[in-house]
Amino acid sequence: MSTKATLYLDEKLYKAYKVKAAHTEKTVSELVADAMRAQLGEDLDDITAIHNRAHDPTESYEEFLEGMKHDGLI
């Protein structure tokens, strides 16, 4: 099922999508939907990574700097 939406795009961005649509034999709507799916997929990957690292040890910035000083890096 599709829903109609109105988007306001920069003229050059829209022109680029029209050219890309012609080259890929897709519609601008299909390209925008593909881009939106990709963005949401990246968000899901980020959320998964955050959850997977929830129990990783942490240290404060100050502790990190002290460690660098201890190691002779600063």
Write out pLDDT tens, residues 22-60: 999 999 999 999 999 999 999 999 999 999 999 999 999
Total domains present in the chain: 1
- 58 part of a folded domain: yes
Q: 45 lies in which domain range?
A: 11-70
- 1 part of a folded domain: no
> What region, left, alpha or beta, does residue 57 occupy, with left being phi > 0 and alpha being psi -120 to 50 degrees?
beta
Q: Cα torsion for 53, 59, 62, 63, to the nearest 10°?
A: -140
Q: How far is CA 61 from the centre of its chain?
A: 26
Give residue 11's pLDDT.
97
Q: To which residue do tokens 């299909």 refer?
A: 30
Length of the chain: 74
**Which of helix, strand or coil describes residue 71?**
coil
